[in-house]
Structure 1
Amino acid sequence: MFTKGINSVLVIAMVLVAHWGMAQSNSLEITGKVIEGQGNQPVPFATIMVVNNDDKSVVAGTSTADDGTFSVESNSDNVYIEISFIGYSKQRIRNINPKEGKVNLGTITLTEDSQTLDQVVVRAEKSQTEFKLDKRVFNVGQDLSSTGASALEVLNNVPSVNVNIEGQISLRGSSGVQILINGKPSVLASEGGNALGTITADMLEKIEVITNPSAKYEAEGTSGIINIVIKKEEKKGMNGSVTVNTGIPNNHSVGLSLNRRTEKFNLFSQLGVGHRTFPSENENINRDLLSNTTINSKGESDKNETFYNLILGTDYHINDYNVLTLSGHFAYEIESENANTNFAESLNGNTVSSRWNREEETEATNPKWQYELQYKKDFENHEDHTLLFSALGNFFGKDQSSNFINAYQEGGFEDELQETATNFKNAEYTFKLDYTKPFLESFTLETGAQYVISDVANDFGVKNYIDEEWVQDMDLTNLFDYNQKVMGVYGTGAYEKDKWGLKLGLRLENTDLSTLLETTNESNNQNYTNLFPSVHTSYKITDAISLQAGYSSRIFRPRLWDLNPFFNIRNNYSIRTGNPDLQPEFTDSYELMSIYIFNKASLNFGVYYRYTTDVVERVSSFENNVNVSKPINVGTNRTTGIEFNGKYTPSDWLTFNGDFNFNYFKREGELEEQIFDFQGDQWSSQVMAKFKLPAQIDFEVTGNYESGYQTVQSEISDQLFADLGLRKKFNKGKAVVNLSIRDIFASRVFESETNQPNFYLYNRRLRGRFIILGFSYGFGKGEAMEFAGQKQF
């Protein structure tokens, strides 16, 4: 896009000059065609300049069309032709022999310039940030610490976003964030599965962080929206890339991307296969302060995952203004998990009354698929005048079985055996229509509708081995049905000039939710309609300084796992359950952002404020040393924060990136005559340094810090950890070898403490260090063409 912009400016300038000159003499028509030497493919957007032989001034100019052809007129025949395109050596044609006012230069072949080409690849590898009127866009480059990483790990390197060691995503310290894939809801991003863990960094194009979404977007997500855009190559001819990764602990994967572009069709595909192991260390303390009894547990587990990813799709270009797209994404995971935990019950803090060991063996298969039909119509009168319709279907299933053995070593109890079975199905359908109409150059109207249907069933059963036979435990067995329909319509109006822009929007959403616990016939039905306004504005003070401000109203709807009152018996003394009576959260969000761009640095500083009602917090109840936590609506929350992002490049070989976020919150709430009022703060920071070393070697190191913070009942400890990466390029950047180490010092530990009048809880989890070695190779037109102005269709 940058190259196309420069070419356009040059062409306009040259045409103006040429027009002035041609008014004074006869014209000469010069035609030809430009191709690239490696594949004999046409080169669109190459710059054609007609240069005066005497004073070297440019007398005319143009750029090549999609098929590489060009036609330009000159007012003189005392000229030569210069053809240039980024990544290729310039061509000069000096022998001009006109016949009857015309010259046909025939086919002109451009050859790759290795020095320029390498510079283009280096620029393309950097992740760059774009600021839009209502969002920030982080283009996913090839950050070294992301080698072989999953989408979750890439997200953790995006400013304002944090992913904890359990895979929970938060934005500016709040977990009420809506995850979209390619702009639409998807079970591939749901909490119930690990599909984001199987989408690798090389499959991603960009990540959009929308902290204050406009009314065009679904109102779900009280802290904002993160939109993950997956690549879909559209370069002409056959193109592709292959990636191979291996690591410690087990992290082995192979990825293949293929694209075939013809005049009418664009066929795209991605294939990924891998096997990974996630080790974990866990420690828990449950202490009853009334009876002075304590349950200590300490153990290790490893989750093994074999995954398969397949993306297939095609774009059919009916004509220049109509495109039909059909695509499918299939993922399949095979999981196995082994856990071994030692338990001890003690009295008065030191007298052990019993010891036992709990072993777990879990097997699961997780099929996921997504399919989409999309139609886009562009109108002739304006390139941004569009109509877009899409129908999207998602499915995620889990068939899981677990076996548990409690082997007693002290205390005189008999060994206990349990088994569980889970049959989970989640189907989701999204229908969306968007219409955009620009008019009077500076105004744009948008309107549309979206209908989302979610249908979920979770069949969970527990059996105990009693008197040499398996007996169903009806107290822990349930069949839970969840059905939600959300209908939304919106309208936005925007005015945008060179200096100032304003966007107003209003969205109306109706939610119809029903749940049923079939084993007890407990049902819960909710139906509510809400308005969600939004306001966004931006002002460009100078070319280097801009301001952005925004307001939006948001909602967080309870999800399946928040509502389902089932008991997970992985640890019989630490149980998480849902609450079918949970109500949605509502948030009013305000922010003011400033952007500064200097010669070697760019800075982004902002302040924000969020007011949330019916805040959802997990609250623990304690009985017989068993901790049961479930989500509860607890009062209101006021959050005020500041955010700072910066990039500084003091020299060609050194770049620094920094991200800092601080917020202060005040919580007010009451539950069953217990006051939950408290206040606190939390902050996080990330600093990345990138070094360019000799022999085309790049090195980077990233340091992260997340402060401790307070919840309704608990204190969460701080975390300090670091990642590093090393890269060596070969063959003009087409082949790359990467080494990445995440959590170098294995210091990313989650710890929480709960001090209540009647009980004390302690929880600690550690994942450890991950080392990955990767190799990638691009074939076809290669990386340089992708980032050198090749037209995207």
Structure 2
Amino acid sequence: MNHIKTYFTAFIWILPLLFGFTGAAQNIEIKGQVVEENSKQPLAFATVAIVEKTTNKALSGSITDDNGHFNLETESTNFYVQVSYMGFITKSIKTFEVKKNKVDLDVILLTEDAEQLNEVLVRAEVSRNEFKLDKRVFNVGRDISNTGASALEVLGNVPSVSVNIDGDISLRGSQGVQVLINGKPSILTEDSGSLGSITSDMIEKIEVITNPSAKYEAEGTSGIINIIIKKEERKGVNGSVSLNAGVPDNNSVGVSLNKRSEKFNLFTQMGLGRRSRPQDNEYINEDLINNTTLYNIGEEYRNEKFYTITLGTDYYLNDNNVFTLSGNYAFEDEDQPSDNNYQLFDVNDNLDSEWTRSETTEASNPKWQYELQYKRDFEDHEDHDLLISATGRSFSKDQNSTFHDETISGDDRDASQKTRTDFGENTYTFKIDYTKPFSEKWSMETGAQYVINDVSNDYEVQDLINGNYETNVGLTNIFEFDQNVLGVYATGAFKDGKWGIKPGLRYEYTQVDTYLVDTDEDNSQDYSNLFPSIHTSYKVSDAISLQAGYSNRIYRPRLWDLNPFFNIRNNFNIRQGNPDLQPEFTDSYEITSIFDVGGTSLNFGLFHRYTTEVIERVQTSVDNVIVTRPENIGTNSTVGIEFNTKYTPVNWLSFNVDFNYNHFVREGSYESTVFDFKGNQWNYKILAKFKLPADIDFEATSNYNSAYRTLQSEVSAIAFLDLGVRKKILKGKGVVSMSVRDLFASRYNEAVTIQDDFEAYSHRQRGRFVTFGFSYGFGKGDAMEYSGGRRR
């Protein structure tokens, strides 16, 4: 089957009225919707091509949207339309009527190709990128380097996104990213570690929204990353099973099942396994007041057993009304040992004392999420719908740790401590969205959302005194955090031929209360904000499109930003929160263009972010104890460029290239210190895919992150390489694969801090990970390639 893959989308800013020109030729507009013949479900990402009748050469093309719709233009008058989709019979439409330079193909039905389905039940999908008015969609497919990877690691391979070894996610070099699952906040995105419960096999696509419209909640100054989870909807029974084994220890079993009938669609995903994540650490703290130096070299582990299950059902009351009930349960049983060696040197660089600190930590982490959703499709228009949902999510942690300090030489450092953590979080989200098209050109969206967040962290430290453990009152407390956010929004959209525009406005009211129980200290805030957004696009020609956008965003301080009490795991490098923190606000602008040159798509963008009340982590030091605490410090102005392209020089080799560069200006002060400075930051990713003989696929992903400056530190540059290889077996129904992440063990986090009264050095590294996988698909499903994932 001939699959024509020409990617088109609208790009960047510049109000269409600025162009003031149109082509002399009268373009013909072609539109329609692609639908699966049996289930009558829309086919997203089907390829639609305009083909010259005489030469059979593709003139232009596009990919259908989430609802199967497409809209194309051509200057040719001698053409036909070809529609194709993997696993379906290609359809050529050569008879149609042109009225007023418009062709309405209405609904195009595609029929499954049974022969082809048998051949490609498990296939090596090529990652495909799609550019929409207010977001970019990356259909991650089954990139081999993602074998054995968690959602966190998959995100690291997405253009514009960076993930460091601590699990901190950045978008275009800036943190403050809001991560969603299926368009909603999730308990699995509350911290980067929980993303280990989402594995690469579960992900259908990832949406990167650098300038979200007013429809999305305003949280996330850098933008939004939306992870779309797969849900099979074909009739009959479909499923997959997978096995993974890796070094360091990463072993898992996964099962995916789906059954679809006329009224019900039942789906489930289950997994269990164990994993180990070692990390080497090195810290050097220099006290320039007392001229002493503390060296700390250690190793820590996070060993986990995990279980996860997702259950859900769609109930089709009729063709226009669907109820969905779904739930997710994940449980992690953690063992976190660590060993550290400390050496303290005096002013003459003589060893003053040496001791070790060992840790044993056990924790259990149950996570729940449940959702009831109702969707009403109105008969007057395909995109006229109402969506109502209620979601609850809960996360708790029961953790106990024991620390022993043992003197090797010098001053007596012998000591023992215990800590206990009882953490609980409950979040409830109620949401309603309504979409109404008034015509083919005009449409509107409106809705509301109310989020209730209730968190409690009970933390106790006990010191061994005279053979008995006694509570350390100064380090023990219960911290309660309550936050309620009400949001209401409205957007309008107009699209006419070559250009479109989508303005919007969102109102949010926030109420935050924090309370330290033992010390009876409370802090309450409430504030109202308006968040405007606007997006526009202009199609210069079949090969050139422009898009632009603006949005206003907020970052609200979270529990760990606000809680002033700290963990004593490393009692010489302490992090604590600040209950007086104020939210950040960001104005974000971008202009993007896309060029389609001989089958190669080039995307070039320019962006600018201006942030006020910037939250920065400030380090202070007393007697070699470094305390890191967040503070609101001034403003940050960032200007950057972004470049993405896919190039296929020959049919067995393709390259995906992503490059980001930004220049920032920081202005601000804290107490008596002025923090004004400028800096640059850039990174690139190059993904090379090779199709080898014997049905073997091979890929290599090269990453480079430049050195950059933070408020007080210099962070070192890093370069690392990931590899993957895969082969189909069992007549295409199974696949075996191997991936190597960080081949040269060169991915680390290294920073140097130089201040008037202290200097600090830190180096953290995880090392190489190798994973072997096998998966098998049955029914009409694909091999799921379930993995244990990675938990930070």
Match for residue 544 of structure 1?
543
Query: Which piece of structure 1 moves more, 692-701 or 595-604?
Result: 595-604
- Does 1:492 find its partner at 2:491? yes
Q: CA deviation at 1:189?
A: 0.2
Q: How does 1:183-582 map to 2 (within 5 A)?
A: 183-191=183-191, 194-348=193-347, 350-413=349-412, 415-582=414-581
The 8 Å contact of residues 240 and 782 in structure 2, kept in 1 or not, is answered as: no
1:153 alignment partner in structure 2: 153
1:132-167 Cα distance to aligned partner (Å, 9 max, x none)? 100001112000100121000000000000111011
Alignment map for 1:634-653 (pairs within 5 Å): 634-653=633-652
CA distance in 2, matches of 1:90, 1:205: 23
CA contact (8 A) 1:89 1:113 kept: no
Give the structure 2 partner of residue 774 of structure 1: 773
Q: 2-side partners of 1:270 and 1:110: how far apart?
A: 25
CA 1:88–1:171: 2 relative to 1, 3 Å: closer
Stretch deviating more after TM superposition (481-490 or 437-446): 437-446
Distance 1:436 1:714, change over 3 A: same
Instruction: Name the counterpart of 1:605.
Output: 604
Which residue in the other structure is 2:181 paired with? 181
Q: Deviations over 1:21-54 (max 9, x none)?
A: xxxxxxxxxxxxx99xxxxx999999xxxxxxxx
Structure 1 residue 757 corresponds to structure 2 residue 756:
yes
Q: CA deviation at 1:696?
A: 0.5
Q: Distance in 2 between matches of 1:413 and 1:536?
A: 65
Match of 1:134 in 2: 134
Give me the whole-angstrom Cα distance separating, in 2, the residues matched to 1:154 and 1:86.
24
Pairwise CA distance, 1:485: 0.2
Is 1:734 equivalent to 2:733 in the alignment? yes
Cα distance in 1, alignment partners of residues 680 and 707 from structure 2: 9
- 1:624 match: 623
Provide the C-alpha distance between the structure 1 equivalents of 2:348 and 2:710, rounded to a whole number of angstroms: 27
Q: Distance in 1 between matches of 2:4 and 2:648?
A: 25
Quick one: distance in 1 between partners of 2:591 and 2:642? Answer: 10
Q: Equivalents in 2 of 1:708, 1:484: separation in Å?
A: 37
Report the Cα distance in structure 2 between the residues aligned to 1:783 and 1:343, rounded to whole angstroms: 52
The letter for the 1-side match of 2:298 is G
Label 1:587 to 1:111 Cα distance change in 2 as closer, same or farther (>3 A): closer
Cα offset for 1:113? 3.5
Return the letter of the residue paired with 1:728: K
User: Which residue in 1 is equivalent to 2:102?
Assistant: none
1:564–1:579 Cα contact (<8 Å) kept: yes
Aligned to 1:382, the other structure's residue is in SS state: coil
How many Å apart are 1:194 and its aligned residue?
2.3
Change (3 A) 1:90 1:181: closer
Matches within 5 A, 1:641-680: 641-680=640-679
* 1:316 partner letter: Y
- 1:88 touches 1:113 (CA, 8 Å); kept in 2? no
When structure 1 is superposed on structure 2, of 619-628 and 484-493 the one drifting more is 619-628
Contact 2:120–2:733 (CA under 8 A) maintained in structure 1: no
- Tell me the SS of whatever aligns to 1:125: coil
* Matches of 1:43 and 1:135, distance apart in 2: 27
Cα shift at 1:195: 2.2
Please give the per-residue CA displacement for 1:255-297, whole angstroms capped at 9, x wherever unaligned.
1100000000000000011211000000001110111011110
User: Aligned-pair distance for 1:782?
Assistant: 3.9
For 1:153, the aligned partner's letter is: E
What's the CA shift for 1:117? 6.3
| Alpha-carbon distance in structure 2 between the residues aligned to 1:650 and 1:120 | 28
- State the Cα distance separating 1:110 from its structure 2 match: 8.8
CA displacement at 1:545 relative to structure 2: 1.3
Give the residue type in structure 2 aligned to 1:157.
N
Q: 1:600 touches 1:650 (CA, 8 Å); kept in 2?
A: no
- Quick one: distance in 1 between partners of 2:776 and 2:212? 37
Measure, in 2, the Cα distance between the counterparts of 1:661 and 1:349.
46
**Inter-partner Cα distance in structure 1 for 2:112 and 2:488:** 51
Give the match's secondary structure for 1:188.
helix
Distance 1:546 1:120 in 2: 36
Structure number with larger C-alpha Rg: 1
Matching residue's letter, 2:361:
T
Letter in 2 for 1:154: V
Conserved? CA contact 1:88–1:117, under 8 Å = no
CA distance in structure 1 between the partners assigned to 2:623 and 2:779 by the alignment: 66
For 1:452 and 1:145, locate their aligned partners in 2 and report how far apart those are by CA, in whole Å. 37
Q: CA contact under 8 A between 2:39 and 2:235: conserved in structure 1?
A: no
Letter of the 1:256 counterpart = V
- The 8 Å contact of residues 311 and 327 in structure 1, kept in 2 or not, is answered as yes
- Taking the aligned partners of 1:545 and 1:132, their CA distance within structure 2 comes to 14
1:509/1:42 CA distance change after superposition, 3 Å: closer
Displacement of 1:651 after TM fit? 1.3
SS at match of 2:167: coil
* Paired AA for residue 425 in structure 2: N
User: What residue is the counterpart of 2:165 in the other structure?
Assistant: 165
Does structure 1 retain, via aligned residues, the 8 Å contact 2:395–2:424?
yes
Matched to 1:634, the amino acid is: I
The CA deviation at 1:695 is 0.7
User: Tell me, which stretches of 5 or more residues in structure 1 are unaligned?
Assistant: 7-15, 17-33, 36-40, 47-83, 92-108, 785-793
State the AA in 1 paired with 2:627.
V
**Structure 1 residue 732: deviation in Å?**
4.4
What 5-or-longer segments of structure 2 have no aligned partner?
Answer: 7-29, 31-35, 44-83, 92-110, 784-792
Query: Compared with structure 1, are the counterparts of its residues 217 and 88 closer, same or farther at alpha carbon in structure 2 (3 Å cutoff)?
Result: closer
The one-letter code sitting in structure 2 at the alignment partner of 1:701 is: A
CA distance in 2, matches of 1:623, 1:43: 68
CA contact (8 A) 2:660 2:683 kept: yes
Structure with more contact order per residue of length (Cα contacts < 8 Å, sep ≥ 6): 2
Deviation, structure 1 residue 240: 0.5
- Looking at structure 2, the residues matched to 724 and 630 of structure 1 have their Cα atoms a distance apart, in angstroms, of 38
Which residue identity lines up with residue 125 of structure 1 in the other structure? E
SS in 1 for 2:577: coil
- Does structure 2 retain, via aligned residues, the 8 Å contact 1:294–1:349? no
Mapped to 1, the partners of 2:239 and 2:511 lie a distance apart of: 45
Kindly state the Cα deviation for residue 235 of structure 1 after the two structures are TM-superposed: 1.1
Residues of 1 paired with 2:42 and 2:708: CA distance? 54
1:655-691 deviations in Å (ceiling 9; x for gaps) = 0010000000000001112101011010010111100
Q: What TM-score do the two structures reach when normalised by structure 1?
A: 0.85
- Verify the 8 A CA contact 2:120 2:732 in the aligned structure 1: no
Q: How many residues matched? A: 695
Q: Indicate if the aligned counterparts of 1:737 and 1:776 stay in contact, CA closer than 8 A.
A: yes
SS of corresponding position for 1:197: helix
How much does 1:439 deviate?
Answer: 1.1
Once the two structures are superposed, the pairs formed by residues 53-72 of structure 1 within 5 Å of their partners are none
8 Å Cα contact 2:188-2:197 kept in structure 1: no
Q: Which whole-Å CA distance do the structure 2 matches of 1:508 and 1:175 have between them?
A: 23
CA apart distance, 1:556: 0.3
Q: Counterpart in 1 of 2:613?
A: 614
Give yes or no for contact 1:503–1:537 (8 Å, CA) kept in 2. yes
Q: Residue 395 of structure 1 contacts residue 428 of structure 1 at CA under 8 Å; is this kept in 2? A: yes
Q: Secondary structure at the match of 1:695?
A: coil
Where 2:337 maps in the other structure, the secondary structure is: strand
Give, in angstroms, the shift of residue 222 of structure 1: 0.3
Contact 1:4-1:45 at 8 Å conserved across structures: no
Identity %: 59
